[in-house]
Amino acid sequence: HAALLLLFILSCSRVAYSGGGRSRFTSIISFGDSYADTGNLVRWADPVLPGPNPFNNLPYGETFFGYPTGRATDGRLVLDFIAQALGLPLVPPYLAKGSNFSAGVNFAVAGAPALNLTYLQGQNLTVEPPINRSLHDQLDWFQKLKPSLCKGKGADFFGSSLFVMGEFGGNDYNFLMSCNRTVEQARVYAPQIVDSISRGVEILIQHGAK
């Protein structure tokens, strides 16, 4: 996992700085789970999320922001370091209505799986909280926002955006294991989980991601 992330970051910075020290990326568009959520889950409306969300309380946020931001960490996420390295603003969560998304938007939701809620529940899995936050739900948000994202932007806005897809998959296995499936039973789902992530990447490419 760590090695993959490192490779990813190295390849980003190589591309990012190939234009004489200036980033070629004008925005960041992010999808994922708690590894990337900058505040979507904590903004999800009640009554789906009753009671205080731990990410909305200290010690979350205490070592960098000084207050909880909805990130599942006391400091910054990898996504935050990427944004800072590219000289872009920290990527605002989609559910923070009224945010300026012209330099980036983050659709990641903590706990998001690759497979959708209806499907997982149909497999007799308990998904807590039971909300539509999967990769493909995040892609629906993206498609809904797309007209306003692209408004007044050049034709190649997405071509100059850094798309960050993931992490995805971890929560699918979490839901399986917390319902007491064996590793062998969980392994059966791997091809579908991988396929769902691949299809998500392909959809973004069809929308102009490079």
Ligand X SMILES: *[C@@H]1O[C@H](CO)[C@@H](O)[C@H](O)[C@H]1NC(C)=O
Cα separations in angstroms, 11 against 8, 68, 84: 5, 31, 16
Using CB under 6 A as the binding rule, whether residue 185 contacts ligand X is answered as no
Beta carbon of residue 55, minimum distance to ligand X (angstroms, whole number): 20
CB 50 within 8 A of CB 129: no
Contacts 24+ apart (CB under 8 A), 133-138: 133/40, 133/41, 133/44, 133/109, 134/196, 135/31, 135/168, 135/196, 135/197, 135/200, 136/196, 136/200, 137/112, 138/31, 138/107, 138/108, 138/109, 138/112
What is d(CA 130, CA 29) in angstroms, rounded to the nearest whole number?
A: 25
Residue 146: both structure tokens together? 């797309």
Q: Which of 131, 150, 186, 209 forms a contact with ligand X (CB under 6 A)? A: 131
Q: Which of 49, 78, 96, 117 forms a contact with ligand X (CB under 6 A)? A: 117
Q: Which of 71, 76, 133, 136 forms a contact with ligand X (CB under 6 A)? A: 136
Q: Which stretch binds ligand X (CB under 6 A): 1-9, 63-71, 105-113, 119-127?
A: 119-127
Using CB under 6 A as the binding rule, whether residue 87 contacts ligand X is answered as no
Report CA torsion sign: 184, 176, 35, 57: negative
Using CB under 6 A as the binding rule, whether residue 130 contacts ligand X is answered as yes
Beta carbon of residue 48, minimum distance to ligand X (angstroms, whole number): 7
Q: Which of 18, 57, 123, 148 forms a contact with ligand X (CB under 6 A)? A: 123
Beta carbon of residue 144, minimum distance to ligand X (angstroms, whole number): 14
Q: Which stretch binds ligand X (CB under 6 A): 15-23, 39-47, 67-75, 116-124?
A: 116-124
- Binding region for ligand X (CB under 6 A): 100, 102-103, 116-119, 123-124, 126, 130-132, 136, 179-180
